[in-house]
Amino acid sequence: MIARTRLALNTATLGHNLPGHGAGWPVERVIDACAGRGFGGIVFWRGELAGRARAVGERARAAGLRVDGLCRTPYLTGPDAASDDDLRAAVDDAAALGAPVLTVVTGGTETGTVGLQASRARLADRLAGLAEHAGGAGVRLVLEPLNPMFGGNRTVIFTIADALSVCEASGVPDLGIAVDVYHVWWDGTLAASCAAAGGRIAGLHLCDWMRDTSDMLLDRGMMGDGVADIPAIRAATEGAGYTGPVEVEVFSRRWWAADPGHVLDTIVERLPGC
């Protein structure tokens, strides 16, 4: 049983971070709706901060919520890789918000290369370069491996083991790793990989894998609606010593069409089964 105080909303679950989706609640209303239901924390996306990260962070804390993180860096690898300045700006947003964690989605395969070796080397290098700025800002960089179907243009790491080898190659001691049900539910080595990662496990993202997934990005399930063994994934993180926030992150056109209050109520109802 997960304590309600560990529960955090990743605001992607309400859809408003993508144009044309969600009910369009202002960030203050989202904060109050979470606090009123006993959520412990909240994780924002950069787009919704609209240049007022500090004020949003203060507003969330005043309502009684932790700010557990910020999504996410621009890409570090591939043809769409961001400049060093743009990466540092993402760190600065997290620091202004008061978010302890900034999620890193790596970006895709490096131009002119095939396979993953060159891209992962570039990734480790860029993480090492960003780490000093992040450390000075009090922000922990946390790598999120993505489901292998996002290989090519979005990520070059697919498993906790992949993320751990990049962490080690980067030489950044506090570089963390996020475990997202959608991305790792299929991995039979998950418990062993989490145990090897130990204190690097720095996030647990809940959703579900629908048996007949219809859209690789926008058809995640609400916990309990799919076929992922969520308690086993949680146990893998806890076996590694993780006791931090449990963040619900459901990218789903179906849930984005629902009333946000109903979505939040459903999250609270489903938590005991996680």
Nearer to Zn ion, 93 or 180 (CB): 180
Nearer to Zn ion, 124 or 142 (CB): 142
Question: Which one among 249, 256, 267, 271 touches Zn ion, defined by CB under 5 A?
Answer: 249
Determine contact, residues 105/73, Cβ cutoff 8 Å: yes
Min CB(213)–Zn ion separation in Å? 16
Min CB(62)–Zn ion separation in Å? 26
- Span from 39-47, 135-143, 188-196, 200-208 in contact with Zn ion (CB under 5 A): 200-208
Nearer to Zn ion, 13 or 110 (CB): 13
Q: Rule CB under 5 A: is residue 180 a binding residue for Zn ion?
A: yes
- Determine whether 190 is exposed, middle or buried from the number of CB atoms within 10 Å of its CB (0-12, 13-18, 19+): buried
| Amino acid at site 102 | L
Nearer to Zn ion, 68 or 180 (CB): 180
Nearer to Zn ion, 16 or 205 (CB): 205
Measure Cα distances from 88 to 46, 73, 76, 130, 141 in Å: 13, 9, 11, 7, 11
Interface with Zn ion in residues 56-75 (CB under 5 A):
none
Residues 6+ apart with CB under 8 A from 74: 80, 81, 82, 86, 87, 90, 107
Min CB(85)–Zn ion separation in Å? 25
| The pairing of beta strand 246-248 with beta strand 176-180 | unpaired
Four-residue CA torsion sign, 135, 107, 12, 40: negative
The site for Zn ion (CB under 5 A) is made up of 180, 205, 249
